[in-house]
Structure 1
């Protein structure tokens, strides 16, 4: 599992310097956690608020955003459990955060979140790449 995470992080962030500080790491994880908890509570407004403005502009409302997540990211929307793995610095004010999660059917997944630090200092999600964990059948 860690080999997959490391490989995906290298692909996603290229040859950027690995200089994420603890404050950024914690703030980015808190953003992801707010969104995952909002999904569990069926709170589309809070989940949508964690997305970067360029993502929000793609959806007419928090409910439309939630419908997209329901269609393409069910393991994220309906996670039974999750834990944070590696965090890597990307270019500029961006980072990649790996999250190991298990869906409500017990299938293990790896979500690679991409986040960007906004002008107000807040970290917001710019993307999520989802893959089944190695060795997972279902």
Structure 2
């Protein structure tokens, strides 16, 4: 019994504190992307802004300015008709997930969006940037 307690204490003491890893980085990142696209389609600035990384929020410290930037520069995402997930790439064991999203926007324009998803200290992913490519074929990551 003493050995078990000593082993548990040693494990807890020697384990890196505060390190959180996602169980399924790709699924977690995709869930956040879906939630943000849904928030944008529904004009929910609070929700969309809450899913942006601290780095993005430092560039756009107000949800209204952030939402206007997305509306003006990422119309395909803001007005997404339908979308599907393509390939994904893990960087650093999941600290970064690059996720391809094929978007069929209104007016029949098709886009590929590459989402840069960052793992936060609490184990959640946040959107750290989106690169838009005008076409319908997968370009890879």
> Structures share a fold, TM > 0.5?
yes
- 5 Å-filtered alignment, 1:116-135, equals 116-134=118-136
Q: Which runs of 5+ in 2 are unaligned?
A: 1-21
User: If you compute each CA radius of gyration, which structure gives the higher value, 1 or 2?
Assistant: 2
Q: For residue 91 of structure 2, what is the aligned residue in structure 1? A: 90
- 1:125 aligned counterpart, secondary structure: strand
Confirm or deny that 1:34 pairs with 2:35. yes
- 5 Å-filtered alignment, 1:67-78, equals 67-78=68-79
Q: For residue 13 of structure 2, what is the aligned residue in structure 1? A: none
TM-score, scaled to structure 2 = 0.77
Change (3 A) 1:129 1:79: same
- 5 Å-filtered alignment, 1:1-138, equals 23-91=24-92, 93-134=95-136
Listed one character per residue, the Cα deviations across residues 36-72 of structure 1 (whole Å, up to 9, x for unaligned) are 0001110011001111111111113111101101111
- Cα offset, 1:22, TM superposition: 7.0
- Cα offset, 1:95, TM superposition: 1.1
TM-score, scaled to structure 1 = 0.79
- Cα offset, 1:35, TM superposition: 0.3
- 2:52 aligned counterpart, secondary structure: coil
Runs of 4 or more, structure 1, over 2 Å off, are none
What CA distance in whole angstroms lies between the structure 2 residues aligned with 1:91 and 1:133?
29
What CA distance in whole angstroms lies between the structure 1 residues aligned with 2:41 and 2:128?
20
Change (3 A) 1:100 1:134: closer
Q: Which runs of 5+ in 1 are unaligned?
A: 1-20
